[in-house]
Amino acid sequence: MSRTVNCVFLKKEAEGLDFQLYPGELGKRIFDNISKEAWGQWQHKQTMLINEKKLNMMDPEHRKLLETEMVNFLFEGKDIIIDGYTPPSE
């Protein structure tokens, strides 16, 4: 049976993650407060950030930037702005 969390990103009860995907205290905070749906939205944004900014995940500075953007997106409601990116029109 899946677990539910009060997702702070979606601001509603939703299906929680199956296990802690990120290490440390931040990982625990994500596991306890972020839903699968919200995490999926973050993964999409993360991929865009890595590709558009040409981030190297072996570089500690790039990993720190990505972690900061993740906290801003998931917990502070700040959307990710990528210079030069125009979202497709529907």
pLDDT the model gives residue 84: 67
Q: Which pLDDT tens digit goes with each residue over 58-84?
A: 999 999 999 999 999 999 988 887 776
**Closest alpha carbon to 67 in 51, 49, 81, 84:** 49
Query: What's the distance, CA 55 to chain centroid?
Result: 16
- Reading the block at residue 67, the tokens are 């972690």
pLDDT the model gives residue 2: 81
Longest Cα separation, the chain: 43
Q: What is the CATH number of domain 4-76?
A: 1.10.3880.10
Class of residue 55 by CB neighbours under 10 A (exposed 0-12, middle 13-18, buried 19+): middle
Whether the CB-CB separation of 73 and 79 falls below 8 Å is answered with yes
- Reading the block at residue 80, the tokens are 């990710």
